[in-house]
Amino acid sequence: MSGVTVVLRDASKNYGDHVAVQGVSLELRGGERIALVGHNGAGKSTLIKLMLGLIRPTAGTVLVLGEDPARRAATKSRSRIGYLPENVALQPSMTGEELLAFYARLKHQPVAANPKILSRVGIAHAAHRRIATYSKGMRQRLALAQALIGDPRVLLLDEPTTGLDPALRQTFYSIVQELSAQGATVLLSSHALSELETQTDRVIVMNQSRKIADGTLAELRQRAQRPVRIKVTVGDDHVNLFPKIGANALEWRRVSERSFEICCAEHEKVTVLRQVTSGDLSIADVEIVDPTLDDIYAHFLYAEAAE
């Protein structure tokens, strides 16, 4: 993993009496894929605007690639930032090729690199068509293409898979994986928690303008202590024996003719599996369901509300 690319130290942003971001500190590194999650109004978009240099913090420090992104002198570092906004507004009378050329010139990047970018996001065949003829998914891919101009070291993507079908989402996350493998920092702000679960290395949870959790999914699971669900399917000849032998006095619940399940703490998972598999039972299948990102997110929100 590369060095630190983004630093926030006690960063706050107020709009009059409204506190949009309060005392957020974090470091993002090259090669990381970070999920930024939180309800609407939690402060996610304000954090991204601070990193882009579109707004200045009311208090605290924001550094991107070693510079204050809001300073005029940070033009060079800003050119190494890619941004995909949640609401994509593209000039419909321009062609995809013309639009990408416009953005390349804004970022002082060679237009000659654009065909490769259009091919990378899968719309090279429509480069000469007017954007007015593009589907929603094509416009989203074109918006992603402009974010990729100049091989950015930091990518800030706000609801990036909106309008993409499952196949195109898979293509999008392949691109994200490739970029992070090349050392880019990729921050994904999204409400689609289920798809982020396997696509990110780290999760930052925002609530009411504050950062309330930050860590890998494994670390957050450990902190949340949400139960693990274990489902065991036994052979026909051992259906009646399981509650007596395999359960070893644990409180299993029958969920079908041959299946039983139990919820246990993360640290008890291995012990439960040993107890089930160490006997003479005929085990047809074992399924382990860890707490999802949705479960963990809900846990931290409820824990915050209870304080």
Q: Are both 145 and 279 inside the same structural domain?
A: no
Please check whether residue 303 lies inside any domain of the structure. no
pLDDT tens profile 285-305: 899 988 889 989 988 888 766
Please check whether residue 296 lies inside any domain of the structure. no
Please check whether residue 147 lies inside any domain of the structure. yes
Q: Are both 243 and 214 inside the same structural domain?
A: no
Q: Are both 276 and 254 inside the same structural domain?
A: yes
Q: Which residues contact 205 (CB under 8 A, 6 or more apart)?
A: 37, 38, 211, 212, 213, 214, 220, 297, 300, 301
Q: Are both 278 and 130 inside the same structural domain?
A: no
Q: How confident is the model over 143-162, as a mean pLDDT?
A: 91
Please check whether residue 301 lies inside any domain of the structure. no
CB atoms closer than 10 angstroms to residue 249: 8
Tell me which residue range forms the domain holding 155. 4-222
Angle at 144 between CA 87 and CA 112, to 5 degrees: 135
pLDDT value at 154 more than 50: yes
The confidence score (pLDDT) of residue 276 equals: 78
Q: Which residues contact 294 (CB under 8 A, 6 or more apart)?
A: 193, 194
pLDDT tens profile 18-62: 999 999 999 999 999 999 999 888 999 999 999 999 999 999 999
Side chain identity at residue 182, one-letter code: Q
In order of 16, 95, 129, 192, 199, the CA distances from 106 in angstroms are 33, 17, 22, 31, 31
The confidence score (pLDDT) of residue 236 equals: 72
Number of domains in the chain: 2
Q: Are both 275 and 192 inside the same structural domain?
A: no
- How far is residue 69 CA from its own chain's centroid? 23
Instruction: Return phi, psi of residue 40, to 5°.
Output: -60, 130
CATH number at residue 147: 3.40.50.300
Structure confidence at residue 195 as a pLDDT band (50, 70, 90): confident
Q: Are both 178 and 284 inside the same structural domain?
A: no
**Cα gap 169→176, rounded to integer Å:** 11
Q: Are both 59 and 206 inside the same structural domain?
A: yes
Q: Are both 169 and 272 inside the same structural domain?
A: no
**Cα gap 34→36, rounded to integer Å:** 6
Q: Are both 180 and 258 inside the same structural domain?
A: no
Q: Are both 199 and 245 inside the same structural domain?
A: no
pTM assigned to the model: 0.85
Q: How confident is the model over 207-233, as a mean pLDDT?
A: 90
